């Protein structure tokens, strides 16, 4: 390998937070994800796009071992976060999920108070030494999720009583309360109105300064607005990965072009 290529590779490796190699997923006989290789960068928003059923959620769930909870799922290949194999027998999936947080399509607050929703993770992971520290984690997380001003006077009210957009921001606050390094979001705005969507998108952009964010979206406008990198999946394969601008204006693969121009999907 010549020097220049070595330098380029090293820079890419330094910035990459997650390295997936040869990832395959089967649900029983169904081959849902086929040989996915990708390096996901730190402090970057990466969008996963592609037609329904192409494996976006499946791959996202590999990144914090959520597929462990699906009895029929078998995951093969290698996924490293900061160089560590997350499927190694020594890795505790509960610890991993504190480091690699997740926000789901449908807001799913616990049927508990707003405060408890956010405090739960830091409590079980022992991140606060006392009540004052826990209070400050709760406040900081709600502030980062752009929800603090709307709920600061009713932290004891139940989380499920909030509006859909507020519930989703509460779930984001809950996910970031354990100080994750990666935030996985599976269609986080699909249940939200345009105003709440804009708030969550703005938030995603801010979170990028601290986390590696991976977002699955069916909205190409959203992918173009919030992400710097985009991965296009089709029939279980990662077809194309690159700069978001390039994927949307100058895709290299005809399948990517067909999808973004609305011919497949």
Ligand X SMILES: Nc1ncnc2c1ncn2[C@@H]1O[C@H](COP(=O)(O)OP(=O)(O)OP(=O)(O)O)[C@@H](O)[C@H]1O
Question: Considering the complex, what minimum distance in angstroms separates the CB of residue 216 from ligand X?
Answer: 6
The answer to whether 222 touches 192, Cβ cutoff 8 Å, is: no
**46 belongs to the binding site for Mg ion (CB under 5 A):** no
DSSP-assigned letter for residue 181: S
**Count of other CB atoms within 10 angstroms of residue 241:** 19
**58 belongs to the binding site for ligand X (CB under 6 A):** yes
Exactly one of 15, 24, 27, 179 binds ligand X (CB under 6 A); which one?
27
Question: Considering the complex, what minimum distance in angstroms separates the CB of residue 58 from ligand X?
Answer: 3
What residues contact 82, with CB distance under 8 A and at least 6 apart? Answer: 17, 181
Query: Residue 34: phi, psi to the nearest 5?
Result: -120, 105
Nearer to ligand X, 57 or 199 (CB): 57
Question: Considering the complex, what minimum distance in angstroms separates the CB of residue 232 from ligand X?
Answer: 11
Question: Considering the complex, what minimum distance in angstroms separates the CB of residue 61 from ligand X?
Answer: 8
Interface stretch with ligand X, choices 49-57, 146-154, 168-176, 245-253 (CB under 6 A): 49-57
**67 belongs to the binding site for Mg ion (CB under 5 A):** no
**111 belongs to the binding site for ligand X (CB under 6 A):** no
Exactly one of 17, 47, 56, 201 binds ligand X (CB under 6 A); which one?
56
Nearer to ligand X, 54 or 142 (CB): 54
**57 belongs to the binding site for Mg ion (CB under 5 A):** yes
What residues contact 12, with CB distance under 8 A and at least 6 apart? Answer: 39
What secondary structure does DSSP assign to 122-186, as a single string? HHHTT--SSHHHHHHHHHHHHHHTT-HHHHTT-TTSBGGGS-HHHHHHHHHHHHHTT--SEEEEE
**70 belongs to the binding site for ligand X (CB under 6 A):** yes
Exactly one of 19, 38, 45, 55 binds ligand X (CB under 6 A); which one?
55
Q: Rounded to an integer, what distance in angstroms lies between the CA atom of residue 212 and that of residue 190?
A: 21
Sheet with 45-49: strands ordered across = 100-103, 182-186, 212-216, 45-49, 229-234, 237-243
Site for Mg ion in 226-245 (CB under 5 A): none
Of 84, 77, 88, nearest to 38 by C-alpha is 77
Site for ligand X in 139-158 (CB under 6 A): none
List residues near Mg ion by CB under 5 A.
Answer: 57
List residues near ligand X by CB under 6 A.
Answer: 27, 30, 32, 50, 52-58, 70, 72
């Amino acid at each position: 390998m010549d020097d220049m290529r070595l330098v380029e590779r090293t820079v890419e490796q330094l910035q990459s937070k997650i390295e997936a190699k040869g990832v395959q997923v089967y649900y029983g006989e169904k081959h849902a994800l086929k040989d996915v290789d990708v390096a996901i960068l730190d402090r970057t928003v990466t969008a996963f796009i592609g037609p329904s059923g192409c494996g976006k959620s499946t791959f996202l769930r590999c990144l914090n071992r959520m597929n462990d909870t699906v009895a029929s799922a078998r995951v093969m290949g290698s996924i490293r976060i900061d160089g560590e194999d997350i499927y190694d027998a020594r890795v505790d999936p509960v610890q991993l999920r504190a480091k690699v947080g997740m926000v789901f399509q449908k807001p799913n607050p616990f049927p508990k108070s707003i405060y408890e929703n956010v405090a739960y993770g830091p409590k079980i992971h022992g991140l606060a030494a006392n009540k004052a520290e826990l209070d400050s984690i709760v406040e900081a997380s709600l502030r980062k999720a752009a929800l603090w001003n709307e709920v600061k006077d009713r932290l004891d009210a139940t989380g499920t009583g909030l509006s859909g957009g507020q519930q989703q921001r509460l779930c984001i606050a809950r996910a970031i309360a354990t100080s994750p390094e990666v935030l996985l979001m599976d269609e986080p705005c699909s249940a939200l109105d345009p105003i709440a969507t804009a708030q969550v998108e703005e938030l995603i952009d801010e979170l990028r300064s601290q986390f590696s964010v991976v977002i699955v979206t069916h909205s190409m406008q959203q992918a173009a607005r919030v992400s710097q990198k985009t991965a296009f999946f089709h029939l279980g394969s990662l077809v194309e990965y690159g700069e978001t601008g390039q994927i949307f204006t100058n895709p290299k693969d005809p399948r990517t072009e067909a999808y973004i121009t609305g011919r497949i999907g």
